[in-house]
Amino acid sequence: MVEIKWMPVIIGLVIAIILSIILGLFLGSWGDIIGFLIATIYVGYSVGGDYMNGVVHGALVGIVAAIMVGILAILGLSPILGAVAVAGNMSALILGIIVDGIIGAIGGVIGVLIKG
């Protein structure tokens, strides 16, 4: 069982959210992916250990950050577009959680490999 190191996870969440918003403005969805990947590589590097540490911590950051960004997007669009936007964004949120969890796990492993 992997013990979660919360400080790198919290720092990774902040990095993921900030980078995904900033890079998303310039690069679209690719910016979001790059932002999540950079943040999870940092988390994997910070926690070190074996591959499983990187996978668990990276996926945790990816999933939680995807939920937070998705909620922010829903809150931003729902006053403008109403209930239809919320319903459409819920399916996108679920898909985003899955994709960002996988990206996070990959980034965590890359971070562990970089640290050696």
Please tell me what DSSP assigns to residue 2.
P
DSSP of 25-50: HHHTHHHHHHHHHHHHHHHHHHH-SS
Q: Is 1 among the domain residues? A: no
Q: pLDDT digits over 77-87, tens only?
A: 666 666 666 67
Q: Is 108 among the domain residues? A: yes
Query: Is 2's pLDDT higher than 90?
Result: no
Q: pLDDT digits over 36-88, tens only?
A: 899 999 999 999 889 999 999 999 999 999 888 888 777 776 666 666 666 77
Q: Which tokens is 65 given?
A: 């950050």
pTM (2 d.p.): 0.85
Q: What are φ and ψ of residue 86, in 5° steps?
A: -65, -45
The range of the structural domain enclosing residue 100 comes to 6-115
Q: Is 65 among the domain residues? A: yes
Query: Is 108's pLDDT higher than 80?
Result: yes
- Count the domains in the chain: 1
